[in-house]
Structure 1
Amino acid sequence: MGKTVLRKDKTCLNCRYVVENRFCPNCGQENTDIRKTFHHLFIHFFEDLTHYENAFWRTIKNLILKPASLTKEYLSGKRLSYLAPVRLYIFISFITFFLISVMPENKEANDSKQASEKFYNPTEKVKKQDTIYKEQQKIIDFEKKGLISKKESDSIQKFIVASKEKKEDQEDGGFTFFGKQYKSVQEFDSIQKNAKPENKMGAFQYWLNRKTQLVNDRYTATELKEKFVESFIHNLPKALFVYMPLFAFILWLFQDKKKWYYFDHGIFTLHYFSFLLLGLLILKLENYFLGFLNEYTLFTVINYIFTTIAVLYMLYYFFPAHHRFYGDSKIISITKGIVMFFINMFFVFIILTLFAVYTFINLH
């Protein structure tokens, strides 16, 4: 931003104060020409977002290689040399989830997808229904000829339908949400309507089961998995925003309340989650680009080794960060870290489960 042209007029456009140098001494606004080319606008946006290139890369370097250093620097008052925690988290979160959502799948994944789409086409479904109908007609003909009884005919027909459905479920991966208990939503509504009062579902149970049945009726197993995963990833930042205050609260429970404020734990949490998202982004990019070279054994081994090291480092990262920031002895820090790990895993499981249900019931 130092290369932008200064205005000849020394009156600040923001507060009308006299500006002797580049920045207004009253409000701090830079006294530069407001009419800029697209190039200057883009550079200004990027510099403002990253707070200059040096600060950006310095922040990323310390975030990855020096656990807790950013948090200690920020809380000590050194805030202009690095990106602010909230800005850092928003920037990494945006880049990570944006790239994950737009990054195309590699050739192997696309081939698999095309094969599944070919399998789950409407024509194939109609053919399967015709096959079941023809087999049932043969059994009915046997019944009419007196070769089998009515009871035997009904039993065989039910067995044919059940066998076909079981085979389709196996080919489909057996994938349904909350189980597909009914053939259609019409059957579900009919059973609920005609059930005895004591057997009727409650309002919430009925709503949830009907929503489940509607979604399972609307999509094939492959479509449902793809739609759910896409929607889940798209909305995952919401779950993280919900979880971060809880993560900071758990940190607060295990530390001296007089020495540490909740704000301090919040800054530590922002930096820690920024690191996790950055690690996820690096893994995604690495797997994506090396995925095109999976036919070469060497690159497959490199991919496996890199992924293993990265995952282990992401799991390990919390412990040195926690120890260096809070200053507990290694034994106490590790003990607290292990306890907090299991507590967080419990809440992560609950939140992700609820979030999965939320994502599912909002599928369109």
Structure 2
Amino acid sequence: MGHGRLREDKTCDNCGYIVDKSYCSQCGQKNVETRQTFGALVAHFIEDFTHYDGAFWKTIKYLLFYPGRLTKEYLSGKRQKFVPPVKLYIFISFVTFFIAVSSIDDEGPDLSLDNTEANTEERYHLTINNKKIYTPQQLDSVHKTLPEDEKFNAFELWFEKKQLEKGRQLGEIDSSERGFLKEFVPLLPKVLFIYLPIFAFRLWVFHGKTRWYFFDHGIFTLHFYSFLLLSVTLLEIFLFILSIVLTDDIVDAITIILYFLNIIYAIFYLFKSRYNFYKEKIGMSLLKSFLLLLINIFCFFILFIIAAMYASYKI
């Protein structure tokens, strides 16, 4: 859709370059009159909106249902038809974590100091072998006597000691969990952002250095993680809608099934997108994808533990 009357003056208003036809070959600005009618303004709005809308929905379709194709199309030079990878990742990341933060329950019991009922509750404690434990020292002592299969892992032991050190009342525990989530969830986009170049570096190590640039691996990484975030976001929106019309028990059962299916599809997506983009032999592609999957699960686990420990210190 064209809009705006062309100027008779062929000097570009933006950069001063001579315009051959409609658009300046130097900066790309259209050589139209700056003062336009209301109809031209409406036409301009419709053109920009439909262009972005078309690019956005086409990008989402390729991202969800055609593993690796979006990256191939983008790197082949067909970039005008799609949302740029960095903008796509930032937008999806913002929506994902905005929903996650918004879903944290802000409601709970009144835990202010003048709440007599809360202040008369018993302090937080653990009960192990019918013995109540109120201090980290007591926990250490009892923990040593437990059978190996009943002991806490390192993170659980550290976390429980932190709760005992703070000596909160039982009524405050729910509030503490919400506080932890409020600190932990906003850390996740930062953790993922830090991890993106690490994932791209691993792709660079796994593939031919002469055929692929690090930039190519970076685009593949942005698209893959945009897919992961988008799939989780769509799933959470769908489950929220279900929670309005169905009982909690049914929604819980559906949640388990859908998250399991989502994980299976994400694994398949990694294998398929790598195979379609890098065009390796199927056996080698499966082997490298499997190694990448194991490495990334391990690294994510370490990063999330670090983020969880940091969030625990902040509450």
Instruction: State whether structure 2 residue 249 is matched by structure 1 residue 270.
Output: no
Counterpart secondary structure, 1:288: helix
Aligned residues of 1:96 and 1:281 also touching (Cα < 8 A): yes
Pair 1:31–1:120, CA change in 2 (3 A): same
- Rounded Cα–Cα distance in structure 2 between residues aligned with 1:46 and 1:301: 45
Q: 1:359 to 1:328 in 2, by over 3 A?
A: same
| Partner of residue 159, structure 2 | 177
More helix by share: 1
SS state of the match for residue 245, structure 2?
coil
CA distance in 1, matches of 2:117, 2:16: 73
Structure 1 residues 307 and 352, CA gap change in structure 2 (3 angstroms): closer
- Equivalent residues of 1:319, 1:334 under 8 A apart: yes
Percent identity between the two aligned chains: 35
CA change 1:128–1:358 in 2 (3 A) is closer
The higher radius of gyration belongs to: 1
Q: How does 1:134-153 map to 2 (within 5 A)?
A: none
Change (3 A) 1:222 1:90: same
**How many angstroms does 1:303 deviate by?**
5.5
Partner letter of residue 72 of structure 1? K
Equivalent residue for 1:317?
Answer: 269
| Structure 1: runs of 5+ lacking an equivalent | 131-161, 185-212
- Aligned counterpart for 1:254 among listed residues 192, 197, 206: 206
Counterpart-to-counterpart distance in 2, 1:96 and 1:55:
20
If the length of structure 2 is used for normalisation, what is the TM-score?
0.73
Number of the residue aligned with 1:56: 56
Distance 2:191 2:88 in 1: 18
Q: How far apart, CA to CA, are the structure 2 residues paired with 1:6 and 1:175? A: 72
1:216-255 equivalences in 2 (<5 Å) = 220-255=172-207
Alignment partner for residue 283 of structure 1, among 235, 239, 246?
A: 235
RMSD across aligned C-alpha pairs, in angstroms? 4.0
Separation in structure 2 between the aligned mates of residue 119 and residue 176 of structure 1, nearest angstrom: 25
Aligned length: 282
Deviation at 1:35, TM superposition (A): 9.2
| Structure 1: distance between partners of 2:228 and 2:35 | 38
Q: Which residue of 1 aligns with 2:67?
A: 67
Q: Tell me how far 1:280 sits from its aligned partner.
A: 1.1
Determine the structure 2 residue equivalent to 1:353: 305
Q: Which amino acid counterpart does residue 26 of structure 1 have in structure 2?
A: Q
Q: What is the rounded CA distance, in whole Å, between the counterparts of 1:272 and 1:340 in structure 2? A: 13
Q: Which amino acid aligns with 2:295?
A: I
Shift of 1:95: 2.1
1:99 matched to 2:105: no
Work out whether residues 71 and 271 of structure 1, in 8 Å CA contact, stay in contact via their aligned partners in 2.
yes
What amino acid is aligned across from residue 124 of structure 1 in structure 2?
A: E
- The verdict on how the C-alpha distance between 1:24 and 1:179 changes in structure 2, with shifts beyond 3 A counting, is same
Label 1:126 to 1:81 Cα distance change in 2 as closer, same or farther (>3 A). Answer: closer
Report Cα offsets for 1:221-240 as digits up to 9, x if no partner: 22221122122222321111
Task: From 118, 126, 136, give the equivalent of 2:119.
Answer: 126
Which ranges of structure 2 fall in alignment gaps of 5 or more residues? 124-130, 140-155
Q: Give CA-to-partner distance per residue, 1:117-141, whole Å, 9 cap, x none.
A: 26998422432469xxxxxxxxxxx
Residue 85 to residue 342, structure 1, CA distance change in 2 (3 Å) = same
Q: CA deviation at 1:163?
A: 4.1
